[in-house]
Amino acid sequence: MDKHKVNVNGIDMVYEECGQENEKAIILLHGFCGSSHYWHNVCPLLTDHYRVIMPQLRGHGETSAPDNVYTMEVMADDINALIEKLGIEKTVVFGHSLGGYVTLAIADKYPDKLAGFGLIHSTALPDTEEVKRKRYQDISFIQKEGIEPYVHELIPKLFKESKRQDMPDEVEKVKEAGLNMSAKGAIHTLEGMMMRPDRSAMLHEAKYPILLVAGAEDEVVSPDDTFSVNEKETPKTTYEYPHIQENTFEGVAHMSLVEAPEQLARVIANYLRTLSEKEPVRAL
């Protein structure tokens, strides 16, 4: 995999990529306390037909961690600036967890840049009051104790217990990505996640197919939250919207991109094939 650093939107952003530059471009966004490494097992499975770009979000990995709140809109500005820097006309973005929140902000602010998008273990719903209270507690914990004990407590919750036992090396790599994050970056990201609006209307109003992936064992973002579509105060499920492709991975928690990368890559590839029938993904 090739690693690059570019200055976008006032920060130095690191991104990795695999595939060929003249192929159709897709973007994979990682989750909270993660990095582009999250996608390392998926990326090679998509390179036959796509140029795969894996940015490290602000405050994560080796990307700059400025001292301000990392709203989803600011992160969307970062990715849009990267898209423009790379000369990509139109792309498809797949966002895992936090990356899904950023993906929705991109679709909201820069709709002309997307031919489609996917949410992987993520949701278009805003934080509940209960979740906001937990984020405040997390911020306080990190301020007092630092990032290391927080990451050691967070990472095991992302995996099904049997997966933690079966793939200790992969779990350790995910933990390392979190430990490389600064306390400041984690706090500013938590602050930004609390501020995100309800974007569920974007799912049922989309003019192109949308991919949603949930883990049946996910205790971070439940399948109900991933597949919930709210319209005019009447909760509905994605079954009422045929353009939404819903996938539940059995035996998987919050990390299908690590727990079941081959299955996730197949689902993404199938979605991209159906999407290309609607509108091709183009790169300049």
Dist CA 39 CA 283 (whole Å):
21
Fold held by 2-278 = Rossmann fold (3.40.50)
**What is the pTM (predicted TM-score) of this model?**
0.93
pLDDT (mean) for 148-159: 95
Q: Answer for the pair 198, 235: CB distance below 8 angstroms, yes or no.
A: no
Helix (H) or strand (E) holding 5: strand 2-8
DSSP per residue, 179-246: HTS-HHHHHHHHHHHHT----THHHHH-SS-EEEEEETT-SSS-HHHHHEEEETTEEEEGGG-TTEEE
Task: Give tens-digit pLDDT for 92-109.
Answer: 999 999 999 999 999 999
Percent of the chain residues past pLDDT 70, beyond the cut: 93
Closest CA to 126 of 74, 69, 71, 56: 71
Supply the Cα-derived Rg of the chain in whole angstroms. Answer: 17
**pLDDT score, position 232:** 45
φ and ψ of 253, to 5 deg: -100, -120
Residue 56: burial class (beta carbons within 10 Å; 0-12, 13-18, 19+): buried
φ and ψ of 201, to 5 deg: -60, -25
pLDDT over threshold 70, residue 77 = yes
pLDDT over threshold 50, residue 129 = yes
Domain ranges of the chain: 2-278
pLDDT over threshold 70, residue 231 = no
Region at 171 (left for phi over 0; alpha for psi -120 to 50; beta for the rest): alpha
Task: Give tens-digit pLDDT for 178-189.
Answer: 999 999 999 999
Dist CA 168 CA 108 (whole Å):
38
pLDDT (mean) for 250-272: 96
pLDDT over threshold 70, residue 58 = yes
What is the maximal distance between C-alpha atoms in the chain?
52
Reading the block at residue 9, the tokens are 């939107």
